[in-house]
A = this chain, B = another copy of it.
Amino acid sequence: MLQKCRWKSLVGKFIGIGVGPGDPELITVKAVKTLKTVDVIAVPKTHADAPSIALSLIKHILEERAKPAEVLELVFPMTKNESEAKKCWAESARLIAEKAESGKTIAFITLGDPFFYSTFIYLFQTLKQKYPHVTMEIIPGVTSLTACAARAQVPLAEKDEVIAIIPSDIDFKLIEETAEHADNIVFMKCAHRFKALMPILEKSGFTKNATVALVRRCGMSDEAVIIGRLGDVPEWNIPEDYFSMAIVKRSEFPINREKEDLL
């Protein structure tokens, strides 16, 4: 037992930090404080020379540090090949465990929140299984969920309302069944097939007057918001964009047409 405690005290910590949805001011005070003191900043990238939005959001914080942080780039290629993906996670987990074992504190930065559809989860799980002696901590962040609602000025849910959060690439039948029992639906990363979802929602009992808000690149310089009724959506001009989210409300929430901004 003594052995175990001594081992623990020598090992550093791995911290997952949510840096918020895209607006650099929507990061928490706790995240800022932590980013100013950790030894290593781990940055996920899809390939070695890809820019990192998460890193660009915290650049000014890192510049204020007395001692520069070590930046550790972790490459996770977008792949459907599970064994290839697992190999990447295992290698990244090994690098992080090695740094933690040398007493360092490592912060992994992630857009939004580390536990809300983030790639951080795979790394967290790998470390938990293979290196259980490394202490982990999660600093939650503002998600695109509430940030998009705020920008569109459309409340997510009140009183006894049920919210369903749906990754829009799932099967239409499952979307239809899920939507049937929800008052409010949030579609994650949906712009590429948002129009195709409207007839599915109508089958689930949403009327043409249901409130719809679509937000692209929330809080970023090229943000766009479009608000209207479900019946209007077929006429919308929606460019594809990975960073897009929609809120659909069964209720006919009053819409301030002045606030509309075409995509």
Contacts and interface: CB of A to CB of B under 8 A. Distances in A.
A224 to B, nearest CB: 17
A178 B181 CA distance: 6
A117 B158 contact: yes
Nearest to A16: B150
Contacts of A140: 21, 26, 142, 146-147, 149-150
A240 to B, nearest CB: 19
Interface string A158-171: 11111111110110
A162 to B, nearest CB: 5
Interface in A123-168: 124-125, 128-129, 132, 136, 138-143, 145-147, 149-151, 153-167
A67 B113 CA distance: 34
A141 B142 contact: yes
Given A128-B256, A146-B113, A136 B153 contact: yes
A28 interface: yes
Interface in A22-71: 23-30, 32-33
Contacts of A206: none
A177 interface: yes
Nearest to A23: B30
A244 to B, nearest CB: 17
A149 B157 CA distance: 19
A263 interface: no
A28 B25 contact: yes
Contacts of A113: 142, 146, 149-150, 156
Contact of A159 (B23, B125, B155, B167): B167
A158 to B, nearest CB: 5
Interface in A71-123: 113-118, 121-122
Given A140-B149, A163-B164, A167-B160, A155 B115 contact: yes
Interface of A: 18, 20-21, 23-30, 32-33, 113-118, 121-122, 124-125, 128-129, 132, 136, 138-143, 145-147, 149-151, 153-167, 169-170, 174, 177-178, 180-182, 254, 256
